[in-house]
Amino acid sequence: MTSTLKGITLKGSAELVAEFFSFGINSILYQRGIYPPETFSRVTHYDMSLQLSTDPKLKNYLTNVVSQLKEWLFECTVQKLVLVITCLETNEVLERWQFDIECDKSAKENSTPREKSIKTIQDEIRSVIRQITATVTFLPLLETPCAFDLLVYTDKDLAVPEKWEESGPQIIDQSEEVRLRSFTTSIHKVNSMVAYKRTDSV
Amino acid sequence: MAEGGDVEWELSKENIQPLRRGRAISALHQALSQQQDGVSSAINQQRQAFESEVRMYEGDDPLDVWDRYIKWTEQTFPQGGKESNLGTLLERVVTRFTDEKKYHNDPRYVDLWIKFAENCPEPLDIYRYMQAQGIGVTQASLYIAWSEEYENQGNCRKADLVYQEGFKKCAEPHDKLQQFHKALQARVSRQVMMNVEEDDSDNEPKQPERVSLADLKHRGKKKAIAPVNRTGHAIRSISGGLLSHGPSVLGNASNSRLVIFDENKTESAGPSEPKLESWVAPPTSKAKENEQRPERWCDVKLPQKSKYGRTVMAPPPPKPTFQPFVEETDQPPTMTPCKINPAVNTVLSSRKPCREETPLKRLQEHHQQQKEAESGKLQEQSMYCKELLLSGATEFCFEEVRAERYFKKMAQESKEVRGQKDEASASTSN
């Protein structure tokens, strides 16, 4: 069927977005040095080389999160995904990567595929990841060992799955916020943003 | 912020120097948008304001102005470079307060010193100088920066020793120092572990280094393309030089610098190839410690090592025993014709560097001068406010200083007048 190649369905969109998060989170962890660089291996995806973690525990955790996320994306109940980087010793939040997800809930009833080719979507995703890489130009150096956490904002009435727990927003006070590019699959729209501690100068 | 505005920083990401403390995105946007038309007047005005503030400051914390000035410079000139004047500024501030004991362990001052050191070709010398002068000896940041420099140069033992020194001096904040020390230990032990794993299989050198001028092996059939990997096995044997056509003998000495004297081999190669010499491998990049000082080479004779291990001096060119025949008519021209009168034309030659100028040397000189001034040995004495004219990054002229004073006076006067008026109006209304 040629029509499925051209258009995009809710299921396909959820998969694409989840895949973006998997690569995006890996690149942030690599770029910000949360895990040692030798635990990453290079893969080519979206026509660019990306770093994927080889740490079994981390991989396991990320697969869990992403598969759960895919479910929520499919149900259109997820609003935000936030990657929080905290100082290991003081638990202070140093960086906050926020991805706002706008779901077009009408796609749930109306299952006709939308007109947008995968290639254009992937092009958009690529430029988001490129921008994530480029943020090192203004982000402060993370001088201390850091840990990361993933927060997912969902619709209120959602039952909390067994492996998840409620958490605070972990917002940085006195932060500088930079909006990054966004991409859309025409069903899910993802806006990215990074917040970091404001420098005390100027 | 609009999405269109974000593109600016991404387009010039290569021209933005990362800062340890990060950048304020608004300052970055401003700097980048003004970049096209050179240093804008707004920036110049701000700079001028800082320059005059540096001179006219009368409070009890002059370092504060400098600190703000330098931070502003860092943020305003994301690509660094000459027009930012950062190097000069750092040097000025650092020399300016060397004698102010109250700043010696001020974290701001120590940070400025560290920035200055990182700007210098030899940061380690600066750190040693700081220690000798007692600047920042109780600040953890000094030891952290110092140790990181050693670590970058691959000297992990010294890097650790620096931390020990810091602990001995009870540098503050203590937990920060401890934290960085632990991180260093973790890095070193991880490195050692990885090296051990590698070394188990074969006795390769621990860190395969790219040897300069090394030939590269061809890979596969593509002869023209050099392999990207320029370390380890990809480097062809370089110990041989001319001998490389006899790889059966030297084949496995891929990285050794020694050529072992082989009696049998020399016999075969002996008289037919008298020029056969063993070329010592080029020094690896680590050889910086033994760097040779520049010196006169004109009367130095290079001892030449022959293949046989003896030292042979090059024989002096023999004097001809015969008189070369010169035809009588063939008189050589006494001088090459010269169109330009040499007396008129000034001859230029490139200026020879009289001595090496490093920021550290200038610092020491400055220190020396000040000592001399104290003991009254100084020969020169400037009878004008030299300090005021030269204390900033750029030079002020007398008029500028005078104008600055004038404006200040005016401002004060107008304030007083206004105060009087207020008083007057208050009294009339009563």
Predicted local confidence at residue A83, as pLDDT = 92
Region for residue A47 given its phi and psi (left: phi exceeds 0; alpha: psi -120 to 50; beta: otherwise): left
Predicted local confidence at residue B352, as pLDDT = 64
Contacts of B344 (CB under 8 A, 6+ apart): none
Number of domains in chain A: 1
Rounded Cα–Cα distance for residues B360 and B126 (Å):
7
In a domain, B15, yes or no: yes
Predicted local confidence at residue B250, as pLDDT = 39
Please tell me whether residue A168 adopts helix, strand or coil conformation. coil
- Inform me whether the C-beta atom of residue B24 falls under 8 Å from chain A C-beta atoms: yes
Predicted local confidence at residue B231, as pLDDT = 54
> Could you tell me the pTM of the whole model?
0.63
Q: Where are the alpha helices (DSSP H) in B37-173?
A: 41-56, 62-76, 86-96, 107-119, 123-133, 140-152, 156-168
Instruction: Calculate the average pLDDT of chain B.
Output: 71
Predicted local confidence at residue B239, as pLDDT = 39
Torsion (CA) B316, B319, B324, B328 in degrees, nearest 10: 100
In a domain, A123, yes or no: yes
Rounded Cα–Cα distance for residues B27 and B33 (Å):
10
In a domain, A2, yes or no: no
Count CB atoms within 10 A of the CB of residue B40. Answer: 15
Rounded Cα–Cα distance for residues B149 and B161 (Å):
13
In a domain, B146, yes or no: yes
Q: List, as ranges, residues 35-94 from B with C-beta within 8 Å of A.
A: 68, 71-72, 74-75
Count CB atoms within 10 A of the CB of residue B303. Answer: 9
- Inform me whether the C-beta atom of residue A137 falls under 8 Å from chain B C-beta atoms: yes
Cα→Cα distances B333→B327, B329, B340, B343, Å: 14, 12, 18, 20
Contacts of B308 (CB under 8 A, 6+ apart): B261, B266
pLDDT tens digits, residue range B279-327? Answer: 444 444 444 566 677 777 777 776 665 555 554 555 666 676 777 777 7
- Inform me whether the C-beta atom of residue B361 falls under 8 Å from chain A C-beta atoms: no
Predicted confidence (pLDDT) at residue A23 exceeds the cutoff of 90: yes
Cα→Cα distances B58→B48, B65, B303, Å: 17, 11, 66
Q: Which structure tokens are listed for B199?
A: 């070394």
The nearest CA of chain A is from the CA of B28 a distance in Å of: 8
Predicted local confidence at residue A30, as pLDDT = 92
Q: Which structure tokens are listed for A64?
A: 């869990």
Domain boundaries, position B19: 1-62+73-81
Predicted local confidence at residue B429, as pLDDT = 53
Predicted local confidence at residue A24, as pLDDT = 92
Residues of chain B with pLDDT under 70: 1-6, 35-39, 198-291, 302-318, 320, 328-347, 351-357, 373-374, 376-380, 423-430
Instruction: Single out the residue of A134, A117, A96 nearest to residue A2, CA to CA.
Output: A117
In a domain, B58, yes or no: yes
Q: For residue B173, say if its preceding peptide bond is cis, omega within 30 degrees of 0.
A: yes
In a domain, A103, yes or no: yes
Query: Does the distance separating the beta carbons of A201 and B74 come in below 8 Å?
Result: yes
Count CB atoms within 10 A of the CB of residue B325. Answer: 5
Predicted local confidence at residue B253, as pLDDT = 41
Predicted local confidence at residue A28, as pLDDT = 92
DSSP tag of A37: G
Dihedral sign from CA coordinates of A191, A192, A198, A199: negative
pLDDT tens digits, residue range A104-150? Answer: 888 777 777 788 888 888 899 999 999 898 888 888 888 888 899 99
Predicted local confidence at residue B72, as pLDDT = 87
Asked if residue B33 lies in contact with residue B24, where contact means CB atoms within 8 angstroms, the answer is no
Number of domains in chain B: 3
Q: Which amino acid makes up residue B419?
A: G
In a domain, A4, yes or no: no
What is the domain-level CATH number for residue B140?
A: 1.25.40.430
- Inform me whether the C-beta atom of residue B193 falls under 8 Å from chain A C-beta atoms: no
Dihedral sign from CA coordinates of A139, B135, B149, B366: positive
Predicted local confidence at residue A199, as pLDDT = 66
Q: Which residue, of B269, B286, B315, is where some domain finishes?
A: B269
Rounded Cα–Cα distance for residues B259 and B47 (Å):
62
Please tell me whether residue B181 adopts helix, strand or coil conformation. helix
B3 to chain A: which residues are within 8 Å by CB?
Answer: 179, 181-182
Predicted local confidence at residue A87, as pLDDT = 87
What is the domain-level CATH number for residue A47?
A: 3.30.900.10
Which ipTM was obtained for this model? 0.72
Cα→Cα distances B129→A162, B362, B363, Å: 60, 12, 10
DSSP tag of B103: G
Q: Distance between alpha carbon B265 and the CA centroid of its chain, in Å?
A: 48
pLDDT tens digits, residue range A31-67? Answer: 998 888 889 999 998 888 999 999 999 999 999 999 9
In a domain, B25, yes or no: yes
* CA count, 13 A, side-chain hemisphere, A34: 25
Domain boundaries, position A165: 10-197
Predicted local confidence at residue B210, as pLDDT = 56
Q: In the beta sheet, which residues pair with residue A154?
A: A78
Query: Does the distance separating the beta carbons of A201 and B68 come in below 8 Å?
Result: yes
- Inform me whether the C-beta atom of residue B27 falls under 8 Å from chain A C-beta atoms: yes
The nearest CA of chain B is from the CA of A181 a distance in Å of: 7
Which chain A residue shows the shortest CA-CA distance from B187? Answer: A36
Q: In the beta sheet, which residues pair with residue A43?
A: A50
Q: Which residue, of B81, B110, B131, is where some domain finishes?
A: B81
**Chain position carrying tokens 């200055």:** B116
Asked if residue A132 lies in contact with residue A180, where contact means CB atoms within 8 angstroms, the answer is yes
Please tell me whether residue B77 adopts helix, strand or coil conformation. coil
**Chain position carrying tokens 């991409």:** A183
Query: A10-31 vs A118-134: helix axis angle to the nearest 10?
Result: 20
Predicted confidence (pLDDT) at residue A1 exceeds the cutoff of 80: no
In a domain, B133, yes or no: yes
Predicted local confidence at residue B205, as pLDDT = 47
pLDDT tens digits, residue range A167-199? Answer: 877 888 788 888 888 888 888 899 999 999 876
